[in-house]
Structure 1
Amino acid sequence: KNSGKPVLRSINSYARSMSFTRSSLCSPMWGGEDPLGRLDGQNDSQRAPSGGISSQGDAPGLESIPSASRISFTANPLTADHRESDFSEQASRGTAGMSVKPF
């Protein structure tokens, strides 16, 4: 009769370990600018209106990001031209403030 409870407990611990693994593994991918682990989409109002990634570092969906790309954020897209060498190219493609660099 009590065979269902250990299974449920193991599923809960597995889900806890998976959520910890997801937050700890995905944080370095966002340039290390996600110290609070806000990859669960809590700040939907601060997201970029085009569905892209805002400068706060929120992830609209990890599936839409190429797996072999390192994404580094700049704090302010309007003042990013003195830090990003390819800022004009990004601005022409509409991805200013976000640079995708292959490994």
Structure 2
Amino acid sequence: MNSFTTIEKYAIIKVLSHIMKADGIIHPKEEKYMDKTYSDFSITINDIEDIANIDDIQTKLIISGMADENKMLAKVLFVGMVEADGIIHPKETEIINQFFI
């Protein structure tokens, strides 16, 4: 998890947040997954404010600019969020596809 730069971590959190909200229901298992990612990435309250300031275009540029290995790790995290609530919603997969097609 620590192979990501700070800005890459921020972009990943941003995408995870979009996935979490995509189906209109924030499931407790999705919140738990997000909390674990915050913890794994050592995200603080101050970081959350900084993450909120990154727009979707910046997020896409950051993720597309990652090393291939980090892109694959990010995709694993995104898929983990999609699967967290046990329901794979088309809007969730659509978000991932924006970054990996």
Q: Identify which of structures 1 and 2 has the higher relative contact order when contacts are C-alpha pairs closer than 8 Å and 6+ apart.
A: 2
For normalisation by structure 2, the TM-score amounts to 0.29
Which is higher, the Rg of structure 1 or of structure 2?
1
For normalisation by structure 1, the TM-score amounts to 0.29
